[in-house]
């Protein structure tokens, strides 16, 4: 792989995995968006569904799956190491143990809910996007919107159901998360044309260089 051609997709994959990890770290804070209460992570997490569509566009279905599995492994490592760090005895002068555990320590139920929702919804997103590209072909914005419409709904249902079954009413929580995720999806659609345009410029420059 040439550096010029590989750099945009490498950067995109790196940002995608980084966004997944940032989402897990920031998920413990609940924020109010009008009357809707959601985790602070929902904004950057929702963006990852558009990002995996961009990766699917460039690397194909198989490549996108590999990226999802890699991000899943990174999330497992993050969750495991955070628990390990929390369990270590703090230094005598360290006074932030409770705050550290409060931010980075998630209950096993939340961890299972998050990872299950992520892997199922992301793989569904990849399949829907690939199907639309093969069967319909045109309108990149439409296949991103179609795949995200389904995958973010699945993600919201799985996460909320596993995490809060028997604790809170599920339907309002699912509705709130879904509204925010789809709002992020709609506003992120121009991103697919921006990334595509940058990639084409790099490839055109490489072609001109080879011809020269």
pLDDT at res. 195: 62
Model pTM above 0.75: yes
147-202 residue pLDDT tens: 999 999 999 999 999 988 888 888 988 999 999 999 999 988 887 767 655 554 54
CA–CA separation, 50 and 129 (whole Å): 10
Distance CA 168, CA 91 (A): 38
pLDDT of residue 6: 54
| Integer Cα distance of 12 and 23 in angstroms | 16
The H or E element that residue 158 is part of is helix 140-164
- Please write the tens of the pLDDT for every residue from 118-149: 999 999 999 999 999 888 877 778 888 999 99
Residue 207 has pLDDT above 80, yes or no: no
Question: 51, 190 in Cβ contact below 8 A?
Answer: no
152, two tokens = 């973010």
Coil, helix or strand at residue 38: strand
């Amino acid at each position: 792989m040439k550096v010029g051609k590989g750099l945009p997709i490498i950067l995109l994959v790196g940002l995608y995995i980084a966004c997944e990890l940032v989402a897990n770290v920031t998920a413990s804070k609940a924020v109010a968006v009008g009357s809707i209460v959601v985790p602070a992570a929902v904004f950057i997490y929702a963006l990852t569904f558009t990002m995996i569509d961009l990766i699917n566009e460039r690397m194909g279905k198989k490549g996108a799956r590999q990226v999802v599995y890699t991000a899943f492994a990174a999330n497992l490592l993050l969750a495991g190491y955070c628990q390990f760090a929390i369990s270590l005895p703090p230094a005598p002068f360290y006074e932030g143990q409770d705050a550290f555990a409060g931010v980075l320590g998630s209950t096993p139920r939340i961890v299972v809910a998050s990872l299950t929702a992520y892997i199922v919804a992301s793989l569904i997103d990849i399949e829907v996007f690939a199907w639309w590209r093969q069967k319909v072909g045109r309108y990149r914005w439409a296949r991103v919107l179609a795949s995200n419409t389904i995958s973010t709904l699945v993600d919201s249902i799985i996460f909320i159901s596993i995490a809060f079954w028997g604790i809170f009413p599920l339907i309002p929580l699912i509705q709130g998360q879904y509204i925010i995720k789809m709002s992020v999806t709609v506003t992120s659609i121009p991103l697919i044309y921006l990334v595509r345009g940058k990639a084409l410029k790099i490839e055109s420059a490489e072609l001109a260089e080879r011809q020269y």
